[in-house]
Amino acid sequence: MTIDLKNLTIEKAHKHLIGGDFTARELAEAYLKNIEEKNKDINAYLEVFSDVLLQADKADLRFKNGEKDNALLGIPMALKDNLLVEGRRVTCASKIMEGYVAPYSATAIQKLIEKGVVFLGRVNMDEFAMGASTENSAFGVTKNPHDVTRVSGGSSGGSAAVVAANLALCALGSDTGGSIRQPSAFCGVVGYKPSYGAVSRHGLVAMSSSLDQIGPITNSVEDSKIIFDCIAGVDSYDATTISINESALIKKKIGIVKGLLDIEGIDSEVKKNFEESIEKAKGLGFEIVELEMPHISHALEVYYIICPAEVSSNMSRFDGMRFGKKVGGSNLLEEYLETRGQLLGSEVKRRIMIGTYVLSSGYYDAFYGKANKARELIKKDFENAFETVGAVMTPTTPSPAFKIGEKSNDPLQMYLADVFTVTANIAGVPAISIPSGVSKDGMPFGLQLMGAYKNDAALFDIAKEFER
């Protein structure tokens, strides 16, 4: 049969694979053909693995041996280029990682390998996951499949674009301040950021360790749940991992935050689309509750203190001695300065310097100390909210996908693209972006639902209601 990639989900593919309608090899070939034809239009793949069909053949053998209830067997997936797969290259879309080969696999990757997932290749991102458009990649921007003059979002722009363009059935991304949800909204697909600690970060190249989470980008909520259920779990290699709650009874109340849409720079079409989502929620039987969450409007300031602080610390490992590439100098100091100066991109350098500033002894209390206190206040806002509601609802982004180049010379404007998404990372709560219609120009909108900490299962249940 011809495979209808456009309407395919993991669930449907699995049924076809066990029903013998097509093999894992045929499915992989269909994606490879699409990649061959269309990747040049959007520049999403940095590498297509040479052993894709070999991986698919192994999956087919497992099907032949009667493996039936493993929904991920033979499923073609793309990987954000900051996830380690043993023996394969990883660059984080940076020149400084040139030539790096992963010495081990990330825990999440290892779990997917055991399930027999077929990895198609590495996809583009903002350098070291710092950005909201993939314009910070050392390998060029990934274009939005809905309009190639616009960005795909970021930092997991490659992951969202390949799922939207049917160049992969699903993808993994990472989310530090919205890097899964924002590109998913821009490209019209589903993106999920788990509760902090639900998925091991072992083998994810660190950006901001207290905020980073690995998560799926897919065509449906159920597909995200299938991947999440596989990659979640306590891991001895990541001391911050936690066990999450089983599905609880859904509270049929959804919170909206008072005054949140009054902040400057929210697109009028986004506001209108959000009003429609509120009506949809009511139609689904949810009661809408207006919440006072006085601190979350400051989440972006908190984020742009904590994130660069942790970036400046995490990026210190790139010293020109241990990984990737170096620029030679006449002494040790010169090698540090030139390697980092020449091989890291502007946004990475900016964040390292801001981090160094806010952590310096004279400013530590005024910035980093206060940001950590504010973080507790934001967490408290969420704890209070979830005593009443099952989810908090916001638009995913303040505007649909913007034009390539529109914000690239104004980093502060670029940061504002994360205004609705950073809160979930600051509070550690799970959050999902689901498609909620298109603009007059045909660009997708995303609706964000945030759930209670550790209550990932309940959030999936609520999100599924919206998909009907």
Partner 1 sequence: MISKIEIEKLANLSRLALTLPEKDSFSNEIGAILGYISNINSLVSNDDVPQYAHKNILREDLVLHTTGEYTDRLVANAPEREGNFVKVKKILG
Among all residues, which ones are annotated catalytic?
A: 80, 155, 179
Query: Measured from the CB of residue 421, what is the shortest distance to partner 1 in angstroms?
Result: 17
Torsion over CA: 214, 460, 267, 295 (sign): negative
Task: Enumerate residues 233-252 that contact partner 1 by CB under 8 A.
Answer: 236, 239-240
Report if residue 406 touches partner 1, rule: CB under 8 A. Answer: no
Structure token digits, residue 243: 């066990």
CA 144 – CA 139 distance, rounded (Å): 16
Which backbone phi and psi does 253 adopt, to 5 degrees? -130, 140
CA 407 – CA 439 distance, rounded (Å): 20
Binding part of the chain for partner 1, among 61-69, 276-284, 360-368, 390-398 by CB under 8 A, reads 360-368
The DSSP code for 369 is I
Q: Which is nearer to partner 1, 247 or 342 (CB)?
A: 342
Report if residue 407 touches partner 1, rule: CB under 8 A. Answer: no
**Residue 197 and residue 242 in contact, taking contact as beta carbons nearer than 8 Å:** yes
Q: Is 68 exposed, middle or buried (0-12, 13-18, 19+ CB in 10 A)?
A: exposed
Number of other CB atoms surrounding residue 279 within 10 Å = 11
CA 256 – CA 390 distance, rounded (Å): 11
Q: Which is nearer to partner 1, 248 or 321 (CB)?
A: 321
Task: Enumerate residues 289-308 that contact partner 1 by CB under 8 A.
Answer: 295, 298, 301-302, 304-305
Report if residue 82 touches partner 1, rule: CB under 8 A. Answer: no
Q: Which is nearer to partner 1, 329 or 437 (CB)?
A: 329
Number of other CB atoms surrounding residue 140 within 10 Å = 12
Report if residue 375 touches partner 1, rule: CB under 8 A. Answer: yes
**Binding string, residues 181-210; x marks residues near partner 1 by CB under 8 A:** -----------------------------x
Report if residue 370 touches partner 1, rule: CB under 8 A. Answer: yes
Among 31, 45, 196, 336, binds partner 1 (CB under 8 A): 336
Report if residue 272 touches partner 1, rule: CB under 8 A. Answer: no
Q: Which is nearer to partner 1, 46 or 414 (CB)?
A: 414
Structure token digits, residue 240: 């911050």
CA 85 – CA 101 distance, rounded (Å): 9
Q: Which residues pair with 79 in a beta bridge?
A: 122, 172
Report if residue 89 touches partner 1, rule: CB under 8 A. Answer: no
**Binding string, residues 50-69; x marks residues near partner 1 by CB under 8 A:** --------------------
CA 67 – CA 62 distance, rounded (Å): 6
Q: Is 228 exposed, middle or buried (0-12, 13-18, 19+ CB in 10 A)?
A: buried
Q: Pairing state of beta strands 190-193 and 213-218?
A: antiparallel
Binding-site size for partner 1 (CB under 8 A) equals: 62
Among 103, 283, 285, 362, binds partner 1 (CB under 8 A): 103
Query: Measured from the CB of residue 10, what is the shortest distance to partner 1 in angstroms?
Result: 32
Q: Which is nearer to partner 1, 5 or 311 (CB)?
A: 311
Binding-site ranges for partner 1 (CB under 8 A): 99-101, 103-104, 210, 236, 239-240, 295, 298, 301-302, 304-305, 312, 316, 319-326, 329, 331-333, 335-338, 340-342, 344, 346, 349-350, 352-354, 356-358, 360, 365-367, 370-377, 410-412, 415
